[in-house]
Amino acid sequence: MADITRRLGWRHLRSAPTSHIRHHRKGHLAHDGAGLSFWFRPLTAALSEVPVNDRELAMVFHARTSDFQDVTLQATVTYRISEPATAAARLDFSVDPDTGAWRGAPLEQLATLLTETAQQHALDILARTPLSAALVDGVSSVRERITAGLTDEPRLPATGIEVVAVRVVAVRPEAEVERALRTPAREQIQQEADRATYERRAVAVQRERAIAENELASKIELARQEEQLVDQHGINARRKAEENAAADAVRAAAEAARTVRLAGAEAQAAREVGEARAQAQAAWLRVHADADTATLHALAAGRLAENLPRIDSLTLSPDVLTGLLAKLGRPAADAS
């Protein structure tokens, strides 16, 4: 909307760059262009403001497919007024010189024209398309048909309208039909999910079994190694016992040989000592064999005295002394 200010019976209009202003004064075109700013008298001025920017028109309408199923179409048409003079001549874009507001509703008229034209072509193609095809390829086919229909519509160029783009957002069936159509797909998706779950569980079971087998193999290997270790310990113990026994046998043999040698040496020494004693005894006997009886008695008494304990005092009675002297004197008498 143009910005209009008042000054002493005059009006000043200032428009936006996206608005095309046409100013007629006394039936003649005084100003024509976008983004104008000028003074005018309201009593002699006729003003028109035509927007020249791109505008989007959203539309929603219902249609029926060839298999008698209701669908809802959502689309957006982008357009602009490429010929403002033509549009101002065909539609009422006049504005109030005091407020700058449109006197009519030109954009609503354009929206009605575009919506009815697009709806006509959309209904035409959907009426010859089954629901399944409309849901699969309906967006692209309806968009192409609406674009072609608006491009070929003669009223739009005659009104100065140029269609920039057409977008079809969705072609949707009724809620009940949509739920019915979703059911097989949901069941298939659920089946795929269940199959994926089962496969995942199967893989998990296989992995667990592989882990259990690996653990069992590890335990078996460990037991086998322990068995080998026990056998090796036994072999080592037997070998150690054998070596100890051999060492003991060697020591026993050496000790026995030593004992035998010692015994032989002792026996030899004993024999030699015995022979020496025997020889000494024989010599002693030979010496004593040549001695007289008195001498032998004296020697016996001396030996007896050597072997007797120490005698501090000895008392000899006259009887004993007399008998001893008699015995000592008898051998002399016998000898004479």
Compute the distance between CA of residue 12 and CA of residue 293 in angstroms, rounded to an integer: 196
What's the mean pLDDT when you consider all of the chain?
A: 84
pLDDT of residue 156: 92
Half-sphere exposure of 66 (CA within 13 A, CB side): 11
Give the pLDDT band of residue 291 (cuts 50, 70, 90): low
- Flag whether pLDDT at 119 surpasses 80: yes
d(CA 265, CA 317): 55
Per-residue pLDDT tens over the stretch 217-249: 999 999 989 889 988 888 988 888 888 888 888
Higher pLDDT, 286 or 325: 286
Q: How confident is the model at residue 297 (pLDDT cuts 50, 70, 90)?
A: low
The tens digit of pLDDT for each residue in 54-95 reads 999 999 989 888 888 889 999 999 999 999 999 999 998 999
Nearest Cα to 288, choosing from 297, 301, 278? Answer: 297
Per-residue model confidence (pLDDT) at position 9 = 84
Provide the token pair at 268: 């030899």
Tens of pLDDT, residue by residue over 314-334, are: 565 666 556 666 666 665 445
Are 127 and 63 in contact by the 8 Å Cβ rule? The answer is yes
**pLDDT score recorded for residue 30:** 92
- Per residue in 250-283, pLDDT tens? 888 888 888 888 888 888 888 888 788 878 777 7
- Tell me the residue ranges of DSSP E strands in the chain: 3-7, 10-14, 19-25, 28-34, 37-40, 45-51, 55-64, 70-81, 161-173
- Residue 84 to residue 169: CA distance in whole angstroms: 30
pTM beyond cutoff 0.75: no
**Would the pLDDT of 115 be above 70?**
yes
Contact 4, 98 (CB under 8 A): yes
Predicted pLDDT at 302: 65
